[in-house]
Amino acid sequence: MRKSKFIHCIDSHTAGEPTRLVIDGLPVIKGNNIKQKTKYFSNKLDNYRSILTGEPRGHAPMHAAIYIPSNSKKSDFGLILMSALGYLDMCGHALIGSITSLINSKKLSFKNSKNLIKIETCAGIITVTTNWNKKNIKSISFVNQKSFSIKEDFIINIPEYGKFTVNFAYGGLWYIIVNSKEIGIKIEKKNLNKLIIAGKKIRMKINSRIDKIKSKIQLPEKFPQTLFFDEINSKYGRNFVTSDELGFDRSPCGTGCCARLALMYSQGKIKEKQNYIQKSIIDTSFNTRIVKVSKNGNILPEITGSAYITGINKIYLDPNDTIKNGFFLYS
């Protein structure tokens, strides 16, 4: 990647959630692997994160991915993943959006007949399958790194909602998982603000008591996101993910779907290889399933979704612009 007057990007959405893929125009990002390059970018080039995802060029839910040629024989290329919140080990919708953008812009060619791609992320190597409808890309399937739940039925009490149970799971990112029926709020667009407020109150409660959660696995310093779900039936359900600064996810959330599958498996609500459709608050969907279960109960989840290019973008930094590096405003 070479620095230029313009940052060349391809914008897309995956089930309604945006991704801005950078393909050229940034300074050299040093490091021997994606973890090192992400750390270097975070320490030395973080202003580009606000340029790419912040206002006036972006907005709160904007995610960005930087295409990195691979230094490893184990992967075809790497992605540095980021959002307004910071840097992400893994992001399902951004992965699907980035690959779709690379394929449709003819910037990605296949080295094998099975349409398999290996992508290096901070969460590990992600295996991706491209699904085609003749010459057009139909959808992207990826097998995530291991996902797991760590605690079942942790009881909390919030005056507005009473006593209810929450669970915790990891699907590439950490989630507090709550059955929306337990707080009396259905996942519908008309309840958007109610869900956002409830999600924030739940995070505040849990993060103030995080030392009370018993786990053999190291927990995050704080849980960044709340995932609400509605169990519709054995074939599909609905997800809604909310976090403080980003507000909420328009898609069913890729890593959230993985965490949800891990919890469902631990509760005996889904079997290995069983298909389960997870829908969003705007009624878009991901097809999900568990492809493998380890002896300790960890799962390898597979997510399938579709993305669409929304624009080809040349970002310009005017040296006379006092806010050229972007900014974030949150309510």
Is residue 253 annotated as part of the catalytic site, yes or no? Answer: yes
Is residue 257 annotated as part of the catalytic site, yes or no? Answer: no
pLDDT of residue 136: 83
Active-site annotation holder among 91, 122, 257, 258 = 91
Which residues lie below 8 Å from residue 317, measured CB to CB, with a gap of 6+?
Answer: 5, 7, 51, 324, 325
pLDDT in tens, 15-73: 999 999 999 999 999 999 999 999 999 999 999 999 999 999 998 889 999 999 887 78
Which residues lie below 8 Å from residue 134, measured CB to CB, with a gap of 6+?
Answer: none
- CA atoms of 100 and 307, how far apart (whole Å): 6
Mean pLDDT split into 10-residue runs, the chain, 331 residues: 78 97 95 96 96 93 93 90 92 95 84 77 92 87 93 89 96 94 96 95 94 83 94 93 85 96 95 97 98 94 97 94 89 60
Going by their DSSP bridges, the two strands 299-305 and 136-143 should be labelled as antiparallel
pLDDT of residue 145: 87
- CA atoms of 248 and 161, how far apart (whole Å): 20
pTM beyond 0.75: the answer is: yes
pLDDT of residue 152: 74
pLDDT of residue 149: 94
Residue 286, token pair as written in the block:
């991901």
pLDDT of residue 198: 96
pLDDT of residue 2: 55
Active-site annotation holder among 9, 253, 257, 258 = 253
pLDDT of residue 1: 56
Domains of the chain in start order, with CATH, are 6-143+309-316 (3.10.310.10), 148-297 (3.10.310.10)
Burial letters for 137-151: b for 16+ Cβ neighbours within 10 Å, e otherwise? bebbbbbbbbbbbbb
Q: Which of 95, 94, 93, 138 is nearest to 115 (CA)?
A: 138
CA distances from 69 to 8, 73, 167 (A): 16, 11, 38
